[in-house]
Amino acid sequence: MILKIRNITLQKLTMAYRDEGVGKPIVLLHGFCGSHQYWEKVIPELSKEYRVIAPDLPGHGNSTSMNERYSIEGMAAIIKELLDELKIKDVNMFGHSLGGYITLAFAERYGNQLNSFSLIHSTAFPDSEEAKKGREANIDKVKHQGIHTLIDGLVPNLFSPDNLNKHADDVDVTKKIGYLTSHEGAIGSLKAMKDRPDRNNILENTTLPVLLLAGDHDQVIPYEKTFSVTKENIKHSLLKNAGHMSMFESHEQLISELKAFLNRSEIL
């Protein structure tokens, strides 16, 4: 299969992205040390009904690094610039992990461009003090041992322990995707995640349809931290037998939940 990967030059970097299908636009934002390839099992199904745009975040995949200090807000601004360049005004945005933090910042600053949004294995809470120390340790690891050492230690924890053998090929694919992350992209993103604020107020105040999706075996972000706000316009979805990587571990279940949410959002 020949993938249609495109590149666009923005003010701060050159961004690679995949653009498939026609219809109402969906944006898929991958997690830390990922790329658009995280969505390889998801895009073909969603693109049957929607236009799916899946960028590589700055310094990840085939996108160049930012030429300024990384921040969650800065990455949201880059997604905004990408959509403006593509002349897309209204989107449904789905953010996985780091992508979820960016989605919340986008909702905070550019909410008038959203029809709905979703956090997938992500949270509106900021890092705990312990988590911040972990970010600093990982920054040091990248600086002194390289990206391969970071990825080799990170990826197994992204999957449910029960899925490591069953999804051994997906674990290997996830590692290969991670190895493509630049040192600048990894370090910058770690600093941005460490410094991000609490954005539960965005969930509390939004009137948009929201999907909060978690895995019951997620070792990175427990589902309790994903399901931080309960409101009529917010749907909670707990995927069984999934860790932090449902796009690999239970992609059919994930696709079903995304389609159901999109169909419901169009009715509201």
**Among the listed residues 140, 119, 83, 147, the one whose alpha carbon sits nearest the alpha carbon of residue 212:** 119
pLDDT value at residue 64: 94
- Binned at pLDDT 50, 70 and 90, residue 2 comes out as very low
Q: What is the mean pLDDT of the chain?
A: 94
pLDDT value at residue 266: 61
pLDDT tens, position by position, 7-31: 877 777 889 999 999 999 999 999 9
Taking residues 123-148, report their average pLDDT. 97
Query: 23: domain range?
Result: 5-267
CATH number, domain with residue 158 = 3.40.50.1820
- Binned at pLDDT 50, 70 and 90, residue 268 comes out as very low
Angle of CA points 127, 125, 144, to nearest 5°? 25
Query: Residue 259: which residues within 8 A CB-CB, separation 6 or more?
Result: 45, 46, 49
**What is the enclosing helix (H) or strand (E) of 6?**
strand 5-9
CA 86 to chain centre: 20
Provide the token pair at 136. 């600093």
Angle of CA points 170, 176, 180, to nearest 5°? 145
Q: How many domains does the chain have?
A: 1
pLDDT tens, position by position, 175-229: 999 999 999 999 999 999 999 999 999 999 999 999 999 999 999 999 999 999 9
pLDDT tens, position by position, 237-264: 999 999 999 999 999 999 999 999 999 8
In the chain, the amino acid numbered 61 is: G
Spatial separation of the C-alpha atoms in residues 89 and 66, rounded to whole Å? 24
Helices and strands counted in the chain (H then E): 11, 8
Which SS3 state, helix, strand or coil, does residue 128 take? coil
Provide the token pair at 117. 């949004």
**Among the listed residues 199, 190, 198, the one whose alpha carbon sits nearest the alpha carbon of residue 70:** 190
In the chain, the amino acid numbered 143 is: K
**What is the CB neighbour count within 10 angstroms for residue 207?**
10
Provide the token pair at 151. 């990825």
Provide the token pair at 67. 């030429």
Spatial separation of the C-alpha atoms in residues 62 and 32, rounded to whole Å? 14
Spatial separation of the C-alpha atoms in residues 45 and 48, rounded to whole Å? 6
Q: Would you say residue 1 has pLDDT above 70?
A: no
pLDDT value at residue 4: 65
pLDDT value at residue 3: 46
